[in-house]
Amino acid sequence: MARLIDGKALAANLRQSVSEKVELLKAEHGLIPGLAVVLVGDNDASQVYVRNKIIQTSQAGMNSFHNKLAAGVTESELLDLIERMNADPLVHGILVQLPLPDHINAEIVINSILPQKDVDGFHALNVGLLNIGMDSLIPCTPLGCMQLLKSNDEDLSGKNAVIIGRSNIVGKPLATLLLQENCTVTIAHSRTRDLKTICQQADILVSAVGKAHIVKGHWVKPGATVIDVGINRIKSETGKSQLVGDIEFAEAEKVAGAITPVPGGVGPMTIASLLQNTLKAACSQHEVRIPE
Ligand code: NDP
């Protein structure tokens, strides 16, 4: 049976470590990191994510600023708000919850955030810095995935890593991070042929697709480490709504060496990584070292 990689416990440790560092920052420099979250419209899932982010920011001792805008807000109104937050010295991190309504160009909005306040790591400058291996703000989900992997095995060098999904938010930045750890990386997507055979060669298998149980248990190489990023709501046999990942968990855990559950795997680590990024952004804007 696979070892369960407990994202909940790991995230709790990371949040605790961030709050201790925030306390030290306050005491030594009078600095309180601040995160501003922008939610446009009433998307149910987004409201849940934003609520969790706000609660955890406050619990970590940081300032939390919440901007809820109507679905009909114009792009230029949103850009004006971002400009004000870019200039606000109390705001060190700005996060615009995606997806945005169709009439707003997400790329323009993301790239209007000051790169040093871009705690989601989606700004073109941060993407470029990550790709050339320079210090940058790294997208939270891949950052969380790396910490989950490292908690299981510190040395990833030489491993065959397969990532299913090539989004800018998860798949591509995670591929870069795994490459930096000297993995041999394959990125699969909707046009990939014979996904099963590719998965069966993976020492590290990450799925970030968003389709329930698309990865079958017998696709997992015996002993592999499996990270399930997918979040899918399905109806269980009893008719109840249930959250599941992309991986056929019950089958996969019989063959994998280690595996993350859904929920309780990548999700909690994503928010903890956001707090870590906000702390880093605040310290770098004030040119102070992140407390040890
Ligand atoms: P996207 O929809 O942007 O990307 C999905 C990727 O999956 C695409 O690259 C797509 O390929 C690929 N894909 C789709 N169908 C198949 C298929 N049949 N076989 C192989 N590849 C396929 O999603 P995101 O990256 O934003 O998110 C992925 C999942 O992760 C979602 O369930 C999302 O909810 C979850 N998520 C979870 C987070 C967390 O904190 N736990 C954070 C972020 C996301 P193509 O490019 O060819 O279309």
pLDDT tens digits, one per residue of 140-158: 999 999 999 999 999 999 9
What is residue 140's predicted lDDT score, i.e. its pLDDT?
98
Q: Which long-range contacts (CB under 8 A, 24 or more apart) does 112-115 make?
A: 112/79, 112/82, 112/83, 112/86, 113/82, 113/86, 114/86
Assign residue 97 the CATH number of its domain: 3.40.50.10860
Report whether 33 contacts 248 (CB < 8 A): no
For ligand 1, say whether the CB of 189 is within 6 Å of any of its atoms.
Answer: yes
15 in any annotated domain? no
Residue 97 and residue 181 in one domain: no
Do residue 146 and residue 206 come from a single domain?
yes
> How many domains does the chain divide into?
2
Answer whether 267 contacts ligand 1 (Cβ < 6 A). yes
CATH classification of the domain holding 244 = 3.40.50.720
Task: Tell which atom from ligand 1 comes closest to the C-alpha of 210.
Answer: 32
Q: Which atom of ligand 1 is nearest to the CA of 262?
A: 41
Ligand 1 site, residue 46, Cβ cutoff 6 A? no
Distance CA 153, CA 225 (A): 9
How many angstroms does the Cα of residue 247 sit away from the middle of ligand 1? 13
Q: Say if 122 falls within a structural domain.
A: no
Residues 83 and 191 in one domain: no
Contact in structure between 291 and 24 (CB atoms under 8 Å)? yes
Helices (H), the chain: 7-29, 44-59, 75-87, 106-110, 124-131, 140-152, 171-180, 195-200, 249-255, 266-285
Q: Are residues 42 and 159 in the same domain?
A: no
Residue where a domain stops, chosen among 115, 149, 169: 115
Q: Is residue 126 part of a domain?
A: no
pLDDT score, position 236: 85
Atom of ligand 1 nearest to the CA of 232: 32
Same domain, residue pair 90 and 146: no
On whether the CB atoms of residues 65 and 37 are closer than 8 A, the answer is yes
**Ligand 1 within 6 A of 286 CB?**
no
Determine the distance separating the centroid of ligand 1 and the alpha carbon of 165, expressed in angstroms. Answer: 5
* 49 and 151 in a common domain: no
Q: Is 276 a catalytic residue?
A: no
Find where tokens 């700005």 sit. 94
For residue 17, is it within any domain?
A: no
State the pTM of this model. Answer: 0.97
Domain membership flag for residue 289? no
Q: How far apart are CA 135 and CA 123, in angstroms?
A: 14
Q: What share of the chain is helix, strand, coil (3-state, %, to 5)?
A: 45, 15, 40
Residue 159 and residue 253 share a domain: yes
Angstrom distance (rounded) from CA 283 to CA 292: 12
Residue 237: what pLDDT?
A: 85
Looking at residue 74, its pLDDT comes to: 98
Distance 267 CA to ligand 1 centre (A): 14
For residue 35, what are the domain limits? 28-115
Closest residue to atom 6 of ligand 1, CA basis = 165
Catalytic residue among 56, 97, 116, 276: 97
Does 5 map to a domain? no
Q: pLDDT at position 163, please?
A: 99
Q: List, for the chain, all residue ranges whose pLDDT scores fall below the cut of 70.
A: none
* Assigned domain for 210 exists: yes
Q: Are 68 and 177 found together in one domain? A: no
Nearest CA to ligand 1 atom 32: 210
Determine the distance separating the centroid of ligand 1 and the alpha carbon of 29, expressed in angstroms: 41
Please pick, among 120, 203, 228, 246, the residue that the annotation labels catalytic: 120
C-alpha 244/C-alpha 232 separation (Å) is 5
Ligand 1 pocket, residue 167 CB under 6 Å? yes
Same domain, 258 and 156: yes
- For 203-248, what is each residue's pLDDT tens digit? 999 999 999 999 999 999 999 999 999 999 999 889 999 999 999 9
